[in-house]
Amino acid sequence: MRDRPAHRPALAGKAVFEGSGIRLETLPEGHLLHVMGSIDTKILAGYLSAADLAESSLRPAGFRQWFVVGDDKLAPARIAALSSILQGNAFVSDQSHGRVRIGLSGPLAAETLAKGTAVDLDPSVFPEGHSVVTLFGHVSLHLTRTGLERFELTVLRSYAEHLHEELEHLAAAA
């Protein structure tokens, strides 16, 4: 008898949506670690390298908070190793099970996002690598520009389907 149900991706069955000038896709449910502590980004990047997580993306998520994001799933031992390396400087909370990443790209990506958020998405104000915690309609999310015309939205798992459907609707109307 199983102790818990089998994992099912939050957006299982959602096909890639491609419209005129826009692409919406579900990104891999790899790892997403929330790191909180009194260190700076450069020092944290060094700790990630020491924990063999240098390939992960490091994204600001608030004052003295970051998300460590990657496409591969991490074994609990790797997360524990990072936590041990950071001991006394920062704490790690594995959010991989509770958050979903959605990719939005193309020439109309920023215009589509502007329909739901008040963030100024002009590349001179919100350049590649920049992240912000914001609202899209009534849904809180973490927004990152990953390329000139590419964004990644990280949302709580329970809102992922709603956000994806809202983005599909807006992209289809673009």
When pLDDT is averaged across residues 41-67 and rounded to a whole number, the result is 93
For the chain, give the mean pLDDT: 92
CA atoms of 103 and 113, how far apart (whole Å): 11
Q: Is 27 exposed, middle or buried (0-12, 13-18, 19+ CB in 10 A)?
A: middle
CA atoms of 56 and 82, how far apart (whole Å): 12
pLDDT exceeds 60 at position 17: yes
**Which pLDDT belongs to residue 112?**
95
**Which pLDDT belongs to residue 7?**
65
Q: What is the pLDDT of residues 69-105, one digit of tens each?
A: 999 999 999 999 999 999 999 999 999 999 999 999 9
When pLDDT is averaged across residues 15-33 and rounded to a whole number, the result is 92
What 3-state class would DSSP assign to 65?
strand
pLDDT exceeds 90 at position 25: yes
**Which pLDDT belongs to residue 1?**
56
Helices 76-86 and 41-50, axial angle in degrees (round to 10): 130
When pLDDT is averaged across residues 114-134 and rounded to a whole number, the result is 96
pLDDT exceeds 90 at position 22: yes
How much is the pTM?
A: 0.90
Find tokens 């003295």 and name the residue: 64
Q: What is the pLDDT of residues 107-121, one digit of tens each?
A: 999 999 999 999 999
Domains along the sequence of the chain with CATH: 17-28+98-173 (3.30.1360.120), 31-94 (3.30.70)
**Which pLDDT belongs to residue 19?**
86
When pLDDT is averaged across residues 25-48 and rounded to a whole number, the result is 94
pLDDT exceeds 90 at position 5: no
pLDDT exceeds 60 at position 133: yes
When pLDDT is averaged across residues 40-57 and rounded to a whole number, the result is 93
